[in-house]
Amino acid sequence: MDFTRLDLVSNRMSTMTPKIVMFTIDIGEAPKGQDMEKEAHQNNLEEMISELAVAMTAGKIHGAINNTTNSRVVLWSFFEALVLVAMILGQIYYLKSFFEVQRLI
């Protein structure tokens, strides 16, 4: 059998048909020359994982800063809109009183 083909686990026939996938893993000792390479590789992986954890933490922090900044911008926009409406009403009142004819009795 050719286990490199992905046809064994495809959903070409039906998505409702259950599939069973089996793997066999043989674990043995590595040759003596490869122990140092394996340890160096594991140390490299541990370093990469710690760097990834730091990057993920930084990403979470930047996301929180982004959300905070976004909410502040939205609140500032609402405040500016209220100030703009107040200025418009004030100008309308002022211009209305400017054009009114005042009668002297």
Q: Is residue 84 part of a domain?
A: yes
Q: What is the pLDDT of residue 13?
A: 61
CB 30 within 8 A of CB 40: no
Considering Cα of 14, then 15, then 16, then 20, what sign does the dihedral take? Answer: positive
CB 17 within 8 A of CB 8: no
pLDDT tens for 41-53 read: 788 888 999 999 9
Q: Is residue 44 part of a domain?
A: no
Q: How confident is the model at residue 2 (pLDDT cuts 50, 70, 90)?
A: very low
Q: Is residue 9 part of a domain?
A: no
pTM above 0.75? no
Q: Is residue 87 part of a domain?
A: yes
Closest to 61 in 3D by CA, of 53, 72, 71:
53
User: What's the structural domain count of the chain?
Assistant: 1
pLDDT tens for 50-82 read: 999 999 999 999 999 999 999 999 999 999 999
Q: What is the domain range of residue 72? A: 60-99
Q: What is the pLDDT of residue 39?
A: 76
